[in-house]
Amino acid sequence: MLDYKEYLNNIGFEKYFQKLKRKLKNKSIVIYGAGELFKYINKNYNLSDLNIIGVSDLRFHNDDKNKDFMGYKIILKDEIVDYKPDYVVVATLKYISIVENFTVNLFDKTKIKTIPLAKRKLWDLIKEIWEG
């Protein structure tokens, strides 16, 4: 099992997170990815400065619409656009294909921006792209 504390330390998350909070100040945010990475960050970092309007994940379905996840409203992937967030922050370990898919297909006719919650080192990104 991945040690998230060590992983986040190795990618310089603390410094990136401080920049991210400044960038996202007064912006509405949907978190995409309700897995272990987001759970760890939510538990161990103060996300209260972020205007998170909901959390989305492929595993959420119509039955989940009126529920919450860790105190955040559940938003179905296909309904993110309806909430008109300024940003979708992708909280997954591998995020290149998700960011690309959202930018090109889901948000192409909107002003919604997609960025990672935990930005990885360039070499790791190149390996992710290479491995497909």
The domain that contains 10 carries what CATH number?
A: 3.40.50.720
| Rounded Cα–Cα distance for residues 21 and 28 (Å) | 12
Encode pLDDT of 1-14 as tens digits: 789 999 999 899 99
Residue-level pLDDT at 132: 58
> How many structural domains are present in the chain?
1
CA 98 to chain centre: 10
Contact predicate 91/35, CB 8 Å? yes
Q: Any idea what DSSP says for residue 7?
A: H
Is the pLDDT assigned to residue 125 strictly greater than 80? no
């296909």: which residue's tokens?
Answer: 78
Percent of residues, the chain, with pLDDT higher than 70: 91
- Between the alpha carbon of residue 30 and those of residues 7, 42, 77, 98, the distances in Å are 23, 14, 10, 14
- Structure pTM? 0.89
Encode pLDDT of 74-101 as tens digits: 999 999 999 999 999 999 988 778 888 8
Residue type, 102: F
Q: Which domain holds residue 44?
A: 4-131
